[in-house]
Amino acid sequence: MIHGHEVLEMMQDRIFTMEDLLKAMEEKFGADARFHTCHGGDMTAEELIQFFMNRGRIVPSGNGVAVKECDHHHEGGCCHNHQ
């Protein structure tokens, strides 16, 4: 399984439409890739995107979505250092 932060790293400094993001994820990780984070696992690409949107890590930006910089101090924060 692929850690979700690999997707966030792939998205850094870019804005994706949802369609382009899913296509980029498929090209980089494969059509059948499954993803996990410190807070959950065995997610499809669509489930991972929704998970990050629900947590505020992927946010609307222009005509698409982008990564919101992580605040390591907020409650339930991200897990860059907890792999």
Residue 29's contacts (CB-CB under 8 Å, 6 or more residues apart) are 2, 6, 7, 35, 45
C-alpha to C-alpha distance for 71 and 20, rounded to whole angstroms: 26
C-alpha to C-alpha distance for 29 and 73, rounded to whole angstroms: 30
C-alpha to C-alpha distance for 71 and 80, rounded to whole angstroms: 11
User: Model's pTM, two decimal places?
Assistant: 0.81
Taking the CA atoms of the chain, what radius of gyration do you get in angstroms? 12
Q: Which pLDDT tens digit goes with each residue over 4-23? A: 999 999 999 999 999 999 99
pLDDT tier at 83, thresholds 50, 70, 90: very low
